[in-house]
Each structure stands twice: as C-alpha cells, then as structure tokens.
Structure 1
Amino acid sequence: MRDNLIPVIVSRKWQIAKGYHAVELRTTSKSALPPFNDGSCVTLCLNSTGDNERIYPLLGVSSLSDGYVVGTRQDGDGRTGSLLSRFPLNERDEVFVGSPQSPPTILDDRARSILFAGGIGAASIVGIAKRLASAGQRFEVHNFARSADRAVLREEFDALRSHGKVYHHFGLSDDLFAQKSSHAMSPTHANTQVYCSGPPAFMDLIERQAREWVYAANVHKIALGDQTAC
C-alpha cells in the first residue's frame, strides 16, 4: 500500500475542448488536499495499493480546499481494453490521489524558454508559462492541436500574450508539425530551456530536435497518462 494516497470521489465532469474533459475530485473525508503550483500533476490510482496508476495535469480551477480539478482525454476512440476504458473517471467513482508533483521551471534572466504543448499536455505547459510570466521571464509557446475546437485551454494561452509569444498550430500533417517545431528552435542558444508535454511521439520529436541546439539537461518532458513519472 502506498502511504501518500488519499481517497477521492469524482464529483463533476465537464468538457473543456472537443475530446477533453475537466474532472473535479473531492476527498471522501472533506479534508484539505495538499496545495500545488501551476503546471503540477498528480498520480491517480484505482485502489489504495497503487494499481493502474495514471498521471493527470492539475488545471488549478477549483477554489475548494478539498477538491482538485484534473484534465483528461475523453474515452471515445473505441479501443477495447484501452487504459482510458479501464480508468473512465465517471461521476461518483472512487479513486486514490497522490501528492502533487511540480515540473522543473528554470528561472534565468539570461535565457529564454520555448514551450511545446500537445493534447492534454497543454494544461501542464500553460501552468509553466504562467510561472515564467509571473517571474518576468522571456518565453514563447507553441500549442498544437488537430483542430481549433480540440485546443485545450486556448484562452488561457492567449491571456499570456502580454508576457510572451503565443502561437497556435491546428490541423498540421506530421511533416508540417516537424517543420514548425524545428523552425521554432533554429537557431537558438545552447542555454535555452525547452519544455514539452503531449503524446509520447510528440515529446520524443521535440526532444530530438531540441538536443541539436540546447544542452540535454535543458530539455524538460512532462509525461502524462500511463507514465511512471511526472
């Protein structure tokens, strides 16, 4: 049994973009949950032994001390036995939540940051961008989605335009996506910080491209879903 797991109930679920939902989790004991920073994520498990764990981004839109709101992709792909089907997060479901984990956010006035978001990974990236904006850091965001109506937290990205550069890319082919992401990093200084969160193939491509320009330690991947670390 994992000692840091807290039982919670799914209290609400609503759409935030086509194919994506926000899910509110409330503690069964009405006790306060640990605080978290923008861009943080949490591990949810189906039981107290830590089985079938899955990592979700915290949206940070709940004003309830006994509630978290996480972002999730809708189970609509029809794949039998998929992890989403086994972890549906329907209203009144009980799951177990771990302590929030905050992704690394490097604050350095001498360097700029480039952030890449795909799918529900936008929730983590917009949180990191907010932290950079609050610290007065230079940054630019590239948000990718299959269509405008599938873009998660688009308005929150747009609200950061007075602090940094924000670009949305919709409906790109794989080749065009690779061109756009490569162009965003070429040329860039070796001390530039690169952040990415999205599907595994998305992050792998960003990492390969980034390592052509920046130090390996400056590439930060925020892994969600059925990963083992945030």
Structure 2
Amino acid sequence: MSDTMHLTLTDRIEEPGNIIRLRFARADGAALPPVTPGAHLDIHLSDGPLDLWRQYSLCSDCSQTDHYEIGVLRDPKSRGGSEAVHRLAQPGTVFKVEGPRNHFLLDETASRTVLLGGGIGITPMLAMAQRLHALGRDFTLHYCTRSAEITAFRQLIAAAPWADRVVFHFDDQPDAQRLDLARDLPPPAPGTRLYVCGPQGFMDWVITTAEAAGHQTANVHREYFSADVDTTGTSFEVIAKRSGLTVTVGPDDTIAKALARAGVKIEVKCEEGVCGTCVTDVLDGTPDHRDKFLTEDEREEGTMICACCSRACTKTLVLDL
C-alpha cells in the first residue's frame, strides 16, 4: 500500500474548459517520491459530510521531484469529487494524498508511440510526451476537444520543445480537422504502442477501431477516469474464506458493501471499477466482471475481481479474505 502524504497546494492555474491545474509540494520543500509517466495520485476530499477518495493523473514532468501537478475538470455530472476539488483547492490548503501509483505504464522501448487524449484525458499524455521527448523517441500526440476556445493546456503545449508532435482535433471544425482513426492511426506493428485516455465513449471508439484494424490488445493501452457501470443483478453469496464469513450480495448491493457490513473491510476508492484499489483474489466461482480495470487476460483467468462493482455468474464466490 502506498504511503500517505500531506501535501500543500502551492498553485492553482485556471485553464479553459472548466479545468484547473493544481500543483502540490511538501511544506518543507523536500523531494517527493519518484513517479513514472501514467502515474496517478489518490486524493482525499473531506468537507463536512463529504468523504471521498478520487484519482487524478499526473501531468507534470516526471523528472521533477519538487512538485506534482494534476488537472481536474469541473464536471457537474460527476458524483461530487470534481466539484469538491474546485471548491476546496485553494493555495495553502493541505490535502491527504496517497501514491503515486501507476496502472498505465509507458513502454519506453517502443519504436513508435501514438498518444490519444480526449478532453481531460490529456493529462497523463502530457507526462508521457515529456518523457518520450527526453528519450528521443518517435511519438505523436492527438488531442481531441470540442473547440479551440475550451482546450486546456494550450499555452503549456505551445511552449514545449515537443509542440510539433501534437495534433489538435476540434469537434466544431471541418471533418478534415477532426480525429480520423483510419487516417491518424499508424499501421499495426509489433513495436507500435497506442495509449488512450478520455471519456468512455471516446475510449471505446478508439480501442474498438484500433483492434479491428489489427492492433494487438496488448499494444493498445488504456486508462479510464470514470465508467458507466451497472452494479445490479441477481443475488449471490460470497464466502470470505480466511474470515470464515458468508454474506449475501443483494440485487442492488455490492460485494464490498455486503462484506463491510459483516466486518470484512475492502478498501474502495473509485466505486466504478477503474482504479484497482479493491481488486481481490478469487478462490472459487466465476466472476461477472463489470470493471474497466482488469485486462482481458486477467478476466479470462477468473482469479481476481473488482469488489466495488463486479458480481458473480455462479451462485457462490469464494474470496481470499
């Protein structure tokens, strides 16, 4: 488990499109734990009855150790996390932070890399672009937004030495300027890697199209910020083998909540199956995977489950808890 830190917000930069760029540092200025491109922070949001953990990708240069930087979209359709960040994130505020963790690792040995960021999904791509440039690697960054006027980080990108590697795509522009996957994706090749992050619809479109074009699943890397997940279904039983407990997970319940009521706590943060915090080993039974975190190979193995949202295909699941 990652160590807990208390970091001070030193800068708040307003970006277009209801996005804020936030910079965190230690109060004493000491170096922060090292990070790799694609890493994220778990940030605790506490304000009255609000008690949430949310994950935000680092967009800063990973070679810098004096600060971390993230970008946060204010999304009124979210479950309260982004609104809380925009309200609470004032310079001088101290936040409880865990991480960094990385489930979106950059393959630095790839012969060609294509980064595809939709909206706020650009944040991990910025860190990857900086690293690939420093390594002298061949890469292109496609950045898709609704319009130029609400495109965050444009000034940061314009000042970057890798600005010529960035292709902007705006929805309100002619078709030739929009992202065209038939044109903009490279041919499949063993040394070519694709990285995609953004809204679920954008990601599903890119991933499905890339794999249909012949890109191997293992070469198409993805990270979901959020997901539309249906956690409901038929009741089933969960046996927590080490704890010697059996619980019933009802139609509108989740494994994590049912076990918590019985005294078996599974750490949960995103509640949408995107962060991997709640992944638990399965000893017997068949999971009904609802998450966006596990790979297809991991799903087929059936030895792990995201307890915050996934269910069971069998009447009973035995977990290593």
Instruction: Tell me, yes or no, whether TM beats 0.5.
Output: yes
Question: Counterpart in 1 of 2:22?
Answer: 23
- 8 Å CA contact 1:191–1:215 kept in 2: the answer is no
Work out the CA distance in 1 between the residues paired with 2:78 and 2:105.
36
1:1-230 to 2 correspondences below 5 Å: 4-27=3-26, 31-46=30-45, 52-60=52-60, 67-75=67-75, 77=76, 79=77, 82-88=80-86, 89-91=88-90, 92-102=92-102, 103-108=104-109, 111-158=111-158, 159-161=161-163, 165-172=165-172, 180-185=180-185, 187-189=187-189, 191-212=191-212, 213-224=214-225, 226=270, 227-229=274-276
Residue 129 and residue 80 in structure 1: after superposition, are their counterparts in 2 closer, same or farther (change >3 A)? closer
Task: Give the C-alpha shift of residue 143 in structure 1.
Answer: 0.6
TM-score, normalised with respect to structure 2: 0.57
- Supply the distance in 2 between the matched residues of 1:202 and 1:122 (Cα, whole angstroms): 12
Contact 2:2 2:99 in 1 (8 A): no
Asked if the contact 1:126/1:156 (under 8 Å) is kept, the reply is: no
Give the % identical residues.
23
Distance (Å, rounded) in 2 between the aligned partners of 1:178 and 1:5 = 42
Q: Normalization by structure 1: what TM-score?
A: 0.77
Task: Please give the per-residue CA displacement for 1:4-35, whole angstroms capped at 9, x wherever unaligned.
Answer: 12123434322133311111334457654213
Change (3 A) 1:19 1:135: same
Secondary structure at the aligned position of 2:52 is classed as: coil
Q: CA deviation at 1:156?
A: 4.4
- Stretches of structure 2 that go unaligned for 5 or more consecutive residues are 227-269, 277-292, 294-321
Q: Of the two, which has the highest radius of gyration? A: 2
Query: In structure 1, how many angstroms separate the alpha carbons of the residues matched to 2:62 and 2:137?
Result: 26
Q: How many pairs align?
A: 220
Superposition deviation, residue 191 in structure 1: 4.1
Partners of 2:181 and 2:53 in 1: how far apart?
A: 31
Note the residue ranges of structure 1 that are not aligned, 5 or more in a row.
none
Does 1 or 2 have the higher relative contact order (CA < 8 Å, sep 6+)? 1
